[in-house]
Amino acid sequence: MGRASASRPLEEMTEPADPLSPRLGAVVLAAGQGTRMRSRLPKVLHPLAGQPMVDHVLAAVMAAGAAEALLVVGREAAEVRAALDGRVRFVEQAKPLGTGDAVRCACAELDASLERVLVVYGDTPLLTGETLRVLATRDPAAAVTMLTMVVADPAGYGRLVRDAAGRVCRLVEDADASGPQREIREVNVGAYVFNAAWLRGALSSLRRSASGEYYLTDLIASAADAGHSVATVQLDDPIEGLGVNDRVQLATAEAVLRERVRERLMRSGVTLIDPASTFVDSTVEVGPDTVLHPHTFLCGHTRVGAGCEIGPSSQVVDTEVGDRCRIWWSVLEEAVLADEVQVGPFSHLRPGARLARGVTLGNYAEVKNSTIGENVQQHHFSYIGDAEVGKDSNIGAGTITCNYDGENKLRTEIGERVFIGSDTMLVAPLKIGSDSATGAGTVVVKDVPEGKLVVGVPGRVVRDRVPPAAAEDNPADASAERPAEPEARSP
């Protein structure tokens, strides 16, 4: 009886399988109703560590070396099909006639050249590719190789019955177990590798149970009674065999998967100040020497570069973060950050925000669907939406792009080296020329030529703007950076 452990390196357990080999096919059973979840969402689509439950199963199946995978769904499985469309082949089980019938439906669609068939349930998200690869390669001569585990309380599980020589005889379901069988602690996980030719013949001879269904587990006794070999692989850690049937088990699986992610990150060179309060989805990638502070949430398809500092209390969703960035007390959604960008505290990047190298964004600053150029500074209760800001510009406190006219979103273009004074209102559509400036409180409603200073309500050009370098060379001209006197602010 072999043993597999997800904690041991794969090379210590088995020779790697060829992931392109046509010898192994996979069937994932996902036609169950999942009534104990008490949810309108199909059970296999409930999220775990940022992915639908069944995605974890499919990933493990493909990591085990399966050349193709079929997902068996029921007739009313539109949501499952929509969620996984284009990523897996579907097989419909028209009537709920049990697991044996579900596998029979799938076998009719599998490539006839396959020599082995891996069968797993779509609600076992903790099974790893390493474990399934061991299962697939344990005994190529066996008619069936099944995954088992030893548990302290076997209630609810099918018991594995062995003869005096230790050979597998049959599986006895919990409801049918009696006497000494109820004390058996080795139980069925629900993952099998079948000889494909034997499986097709055996499925055709399955008989209906008293409930009118065809049970896949009946094949174990069929193989043993016919003198075929039934091999087993036993899990070292029974938690890997957890089947998710309700919200309590869903929470257990969530905790296990997130702990695996945290361990993977730390072993790859990422520092987690407090792992227990750091939440990273399984789809996230983080570079070495990055530090994650408490209450950090990295979600979806987020990518974080090397040498970054994220958190505390930050949420980053479907965002690309370059190297050596700092993000704290902020929310980022579908944004792109180049290297050496600082965001926070209390900033919000909404979808479409793109920040170039060296940008600093902080203190209640918000960016939406805008490109912010290199070395731009934006702080203090400012909003830039549907805009493009040129490099080396400064966005003063309280600046707002008025990008919505009640019907359409309109663009604002700000050139390079522009100084936007505090409380400036930029009424789109608008173009602000490079090297220009606005005075505090200006409402800009017309395009501003390059190199000009605009002040007032509404804003108007009052003089040329002297670039900061020139003002330093000639202090007498430094007043050009300041707004005009009050009379210049008249309407």
Which residues make beta-bridge pairs with 401? 426
**Catalytic entry in 228, 295, 301, 380:** 380
Domain boundaries, the chain: 2-241, 269-489
What is the C-alpha to C-alpha distance for residues 293 and 311, in angstroms, rounded to an integer? 5
What is the C-alpha to C-alpha distance for residues 137 and 271, in angstroms, rounded to an integer? 36
Q: Enumerate the H helices of 246-338 as residue ranges.
A: 247-267
Q: Which two tokens stand for residue 253?
A: 């699986």
What is the C-alpha to C-alpha distance for residues 279 and 262, in angstroms, rounded to an integer? 8
Question: What homologous superfamily is domain 269-489 in, according to CATH?
Answer: Hexapeptide repeat proteins (2.160.10.10)
What is the C-alpha to C-alpha distance for residues 51 and 69, in angstroms, rounded to an integer? 18
Q: Which two tokens stand for residue 110?
A: 């599998």
Chain center to CA of 32: 24
pLDDT for residue 471: 52
82: which residues sit within 8 A by CB, 6+ positions away?
none
Question: What are the angstrom distances between the C-alpha of 307 and each of 4, 59, 71, 265, 316?
Answer: 36, 29, 41, 13, 16
pLDDT for residue 125: 98
pLDDT tens, N- to C-terminus, the chain (491 residues): 444 433 333 233 334 444 444 489 999 999 987 899 999 999 999 999 999 999 999 999 999 999 999 999 998 889 999 999 888 999 999 998 999 999 999 999 999 999 999 999 999 999 999 999 999 999 999 999 999 999 999 998 999 999 999 999 999 988 888 888 999 999 999 999 999 999 999 999 999 988 899 999 999 999 999 999 999 999 999 999 999 999 999 999 999 999 999 999 999 999 999 999 999 999 999 999 999 999 999 999 999 999 999 999 999 999 999 999 999 999 999 999 999 999 999 999 999 999 999 999 999 999 999 999 999 999 899 999 999 999 999 999 999 999 999 999 999 999 999 999 999 999 999 999 999 999 999 999 999 999 999 999 999 999 999 766 655 555 444 444 444 444 443 33
pLDDT for residue 25: 96
Q: Taking a C-beta distance cutoff of 8 angstroms, is the pair 232, 160 a contact? A: yes
Spell out the CATH class of 2-241.
alpha beta
Is there a cis peptide before residue 486, judged by omega within 30 degrees of 0? no
- 380 tagged catalytic: yes
What is the C-alpha to C-alpha distance for residues 247 and 164, in angstroms, rounded to an integer? 40
**CA angle, 233 as apex, 232 and 237 as ends, to 5°?**
140
pLDDT for residue 357: 98
